[in-house]
Amino acid sequence: MAETTLIPEAIHALAEGRHGDPFAVLGPHDTPAGRVVRAMLPGAVSVAALAPDGTAHRLAPLHAAGLFEGPVPAGGRYLLRIDWGGAVEEVEDPYSFGRLLGELDIHLLREGTHRDIARCLGAHPMEVDGVQGVRFAVWAPNARRVSVVGDFNNWDGRRAPMRLRQECGVWEIFLPRLGPGAVYKFELLDPNGSLLPLKADPVAWQAEPAPATGSVVADTAAIRVAPRPIPPGDPAAQPISVYEVHAASWMRGEDNLPLSWEELGDKLIPYVKEMGFTHVEFLPVMAHPFGGSWGYQPLGQFAPQGALGPPEHFARLVERFHEAGIGVILDWVPAHFPTDTHGLAHFDGTALYEHTDPREGFHQDWNTLIYNLGRREVRNFMIGSALHWLEHYGVDALRVDAVASMLYRDYSRKEGEWVPNIHGGRENLENISFLQELSNVVAERCPGKLLIAEESTAFPGVTRKAHEGGLGFDFKWNMGWMHDTLHYMERDPIYRQYQHGGMTFGMVYAYSERFMLPLSHDEVVHGKGSLIGKMPGDDWQKFANLRAYLAFMWTHPGKKLLFMGGEIGQWREWSHDRSLDWHLLDEPRHAGLQRMLRDLNRLYARTPALHALDCDPAGFRWVVMDDAANSVLAFLRLGPEGSSPVLVVCNMTPVSRSGYRLGAPAGGAWREVFNSDAAIYGGANGGNGGRVQAQEMESHGLDASLVLELPALSTLVLTPEE
């Protein structure tokens, strides 16, 4: 072996893959004997350094494991000519490049306020000193050594150990002549020097389709979707009708394979537009290892799931929705992550992203780990993920999953299984602070983009501004309304009179938050059956019940959300492994239900009284709320000054009501603009012939009144004739 100034310990550490500061010994270095280059290339037969003038300088072997050293002229960039035993490669030396992350990046990472972490960490194709390649950066402050591994270096962690930026715990390296499409992972030694399972990149923009677990270098510079123009004014005054979709099972192709992002766009976009929904909401599209989690146990918080196509195709899908005038909402999961060894769990050999104490860091319900959002770097990681989807992919809103589990330290835990906060209470102060910071950052950087909370408790101020002590969400799912009304609708109509409050109680607290009414995927899984399957009675009554219920929902204060399949009366419980039963639309009742939902969306969007004062008590008045004996409800929806009022009447029994008098705010003719019992929807065509004359007779505290025919199991909508 050749002579060298390297100490034996350094040589052995490089050969064994234990050296934690490779840039101190590899690459070009000035020595008493002149400038030398050292390269660690296991498997190489010979190595030479090519000077700018083309002369070759042989590097002599220092260790049989593949460590070489030799002279190189001072100044200028050189190439390494590597003979791999027949194949010869010429490439720039990764260890000839200086520090990569700027001082501002380092400062912001250290203090946990780097708002574009997706373009700072991860893998990014770029040019450095005139050389094309990929810059890698990963946070792993407690690791002894971190390397990038892939097919490009035979998955050998000795080939590309990274430089540690001590100030922020981030490791970095630039690998020349690498580009998009390369599959990679990180190889780490834990604080004790033990080799960890290979780790996927936490900030990868692209992931291999499961069950493969590698990260993929994406063309990150090309992924940026122009933001959709934001409708002017308060979102609470806008019509928001959301179609909730699981991308891999909405519709399937040949051999029951999921549609690609491109194929999905070809079919889903025109469907959503024709149906009149204002937004589509995707169950989490973030890369996840197990399809049966539906995305709610994600590991790739920056990468769309790989099975449906590359990230640029997902970006184009968002763009196409925007071109059709449809907003895009993504479910986003900051509460927990799975324990898969290739993921975030004990990422650098320590509890880095999760809590150390399982009483704080392990979800017993889901067998997942809980993000330590009290740690500034983890908080920065998650806020960076949220901004990634809002800014780089241009999505219009995030629906934040499992907020209730984030707010309370004793969530789903028994006495002694949780750790109180610093004041001895059960509130999770760190997570509350995180959600407030998230809402402030989104409001500042993404004005007009929405945050929606899935929150099932009575925690106060979910939709109050953070600076006023709230969490800062724009809307909250009204889980109480959903549970109460579904419980009512599931009852045999003969017993509904005893559950009447299930339909009226929601108005007691309707203005305590800004609400969205959800009939989500959670109601049609885990043995709960389908939406239409919950309805009582024979098939005719089931359809009538569901039509009346959806019409009640669409006219009730609150924005709307419906999970796919509910609009066609899918009989089977939803399964993520198969398509919706689109063949049902060949049957008139299913097609009628779909048509009714389309008409409801259009009525809702064009009628200010049905949406403009959704979050204002001035927009609602009960007309009949106490007729439990007949299971009849009637209420007025009121819009801004100058708009027409809307009268909604529901008969939730299979008995028609003839000559039913109820109050109206104005005399004259009233038009029946919607009737869930219409024949075109599959009903019996009962009702009032499309028009009824109000009488100058006071009723229910109003100056005029209408005498109506109320079809069985129906919802009617009437407006004064102009």
Among all residues, which ones are annotated catalytic?
401, 454
Instruction: For residues 688 and 422, give the distance between their C-alpha atoms in angstroms, rounded to a whole number.
Output: 63
**Cα-based angle 330, 335, 338 (whole degrees, multiple of 5):** 95
Give all strands of the β-sheet with 215-216 in edge-to-edge order.
Answer: 145-150, 183-189, 215-216, 206-207
DSSP code of residue 39:
E
Q: Which pairing describes strands 206-207 and 183-189: parallel, antiparallel, or unpaired?
A: unpaired
Instruction: For residues 676 and 680, give the distance between their C-alpha atoms in angstroms, rounded to a whole number.
Output: 9
Residue 637: left if φ>0, alpha if ψ -120 to 50, beta else—which one?
A: beta
Question: How many of the other CB atoms lie within 10 Å of CB of 35?
Answer: 15
Of 546, 556, 569, 567, nearest in space to 625 by CA? 556
Q: Nearest 5°: phi and psi at 576?
A: -70, -10
Instruction: For residues 538 and 523, give the distance between their C-alpha atoms in angstroms, rounded to a whole number.
Output: 21
Contact 147, 159 (CB under 8 A): yes
Contact 614, 555 (CB under 8 A): no
Q: How far is CA 183 from the centre of its chain?
A: 24
Instruction: For residues 88 and 595, give the distance between their C-alpha atoms in angstroms, rounded to a whole number.
Output: 66
Q: Which pairing describes strands 170-176 and 397-400: parallel, antiparallel, or unpaired?
A: unpaired
Instruction: For residues 265 and 351, give the distance between their C-alpha atoms in angstroms, rounded to a whole number.
Output: 40
**Cα-based angle 225, 230, 231 (whole degrees, multiple of 5):** 150
**Residue 562: burial class (beta carbons within 10 Å; 0-12, 13-18, 19+):** buried
Q: Nearest 5°: phi and psi at 195?
A: -75, 130
Instruction: For residues 478 and 488, give the distance between their C-alpha atoms in angstroms, rounded to a whole number.
Output: 16
